[in-house]
Amino acid sequence: MEPVYTSAARLFTLLFIFTAAAYIGVAASARDIVIVLRDRKLMLRVLLANILLVPVLGLALVSAIPLPGGVKAAVMLLAFAPGGMNALQFITKIKGELSFASAVLFVLFVVSLVLTPLAASVFISGGIQAEIPYGRILLDLAWLIFLPLAAGLAVRTYSPFLGKTVSRPLNLISTAAFALAVVLSASVKKEAMRGIGPEGVVVMLALVIGSMIIGWLSGSRETGRKRVLSNTTSCRNAALCLAIAMAGIPDRTAVLSILVFQLLTVPANMFFTLYHAIRMRRREHPPSYPAE
């Protein structure tokens, strides 16, 4: 029987994704999202960072540091898997960039559905003949992301007042659900940390931090967009990687490594987001000093 905390963590994760997608729908404009998608130079930078530079980082890490085969496989899977939904929690906190962030995350998620299975068969030693359940993935996407997103966009279009009213509660619910999911799954991921050893943990942390830096440097001069790309680039599609690893990689350390990556991604992006939120607040409300 599945442990209760694991079932609860999954429940709160699904609630987080559903409510975050609905929040994006009521808070972002479909027109603005389309405008972002049509910006070819911008999309080129996004794709270069995620499907070229991060994979190069992954190759450099597995070449430079001796690792077990399962850990190497996990690093390469994650390096070729952009578009992790965990980024929703962080990009919704970036003021004024919700449309841009939504468009970027959508593009990266679609890219990962094609790129990650191909990378699994090419770059992982021995090759992988993993049967990816695309039908189930698309069905999950339909009710978990596209349905609440479309509903949110419809509410924003036809009833702006209602959209403004429900946006804050949706954001609060998604934040609370995310926090509970992280807490409930932390013990499982800490066990995974012990299972892959210190070298594996170091490499996964290097992949997280390195991806954040690549995303930041790939952004424009605007700090908000740099933050979006840093969050979305570092949050790899761990869910898809887990599906591939469980279906086609016999070495158990591959699954453990992906769980460790998820564990490290959350605090890294959380501190990054908090740091910039504090900086922005201080900039908007500088401290006042009494006149002498």
Q: What is the CATH number of the domain that holds 82?
A: 1.20.1530.20
pLDDT at 205: 95
Residue 252 lies in a domain: yes
Residue 211 lies in a domain: yes
Best CA proximity match to 240, nearest among 100, 33, 84, 43: 84
Q: State the SS3 of the chain.
A: CCCHHHHHHHHHHHHHHHHHHHHHHHHCCHHHHHHHHCCHHHHHHHHHHHHHHHHHHHHHHHHHCCCCHHHHHHHHHHHCCCCCCCHHHHHCCCCCCHHHHHHHHHHHHHHHHHHHHHHHHHHCCCCCCCCCCHHHHHHHHHHHHHHHHHHHHHHHHHCHHHHHHHHHHHHHHHHHHHHHHHHHHHHHHHHHHHHHHHHHHHHHHHHHHHHHHHHHHHCCCCHHHHHHHHHHHHCCCHHHHHHHHHHHCCCHHHHHHHHHHHHHHHHHHHHHHHHHHHHHHHHHCCCCCCCC
State the residue range of the domain holding 97: 4-282
Residue 54 · residue 101 · CB < 8 Å: no
Residue 125 · residue 55 · CB < 8 Å: no
Q: What does the angle CA 247 – CA 211 – CA 238 come to, to the nearest 5 degrees?
A: 20
Give the Cβ contact number of residue 21 at 10 Å. Answer: 24
Rg (CA), the chain: 19
Give the Cβ contact number of residue 252 at 10 Å. Answer: 14
pLDDT at 127: 46
Residue 228 · residue 219 · CB < 8 Å: yes
Domains of the chain: total? 1
Residue 22 lies in a domain: yes
Residue 124 · residue 58 · CB < 8 Å: no
7 phi, psi to nearest 5 deg:
-65, -45
Residue 44 lies in a domain: yes
Residues 119, 106: Cα–Cα separation, whole Å: 20
Q: What is the pTM of this model?
A: 0.80
Residue 292 lies in a domain: no
Q: Each residue's pLDDT tens digit in the chain (292 positions)?
A: 445 556 777 788 888 888 888 887 887 777 777 888 888 888 899 999 999 999 999 999 999 999 888 899 899 999 999 988 788 788 877 877 878 888 888 888 888 878 888 877 776 654 445 555 666 666 776 787 788 888 888 888 888 888 888 988 988 898 888 888 878 877 777 778 888 888 999 999 999 999 999 999 987 777 888 999 999 999 998 888 887 887 777 778 888 898 889 889 988 998 998 888 788 777 766 655 454 4
Residues 114, 51: Cα–Cα separation, whole Å: 11
Residues 96, 224: Cα–Cα separation, whole Å: 8
Residue 94 · residue 111 · CB < 8 Å: no
Task: State how far the alpha carbon of 19 is from the alpha carbons of 89, 282, 286, in Å.
Answer: 10, 30, 34
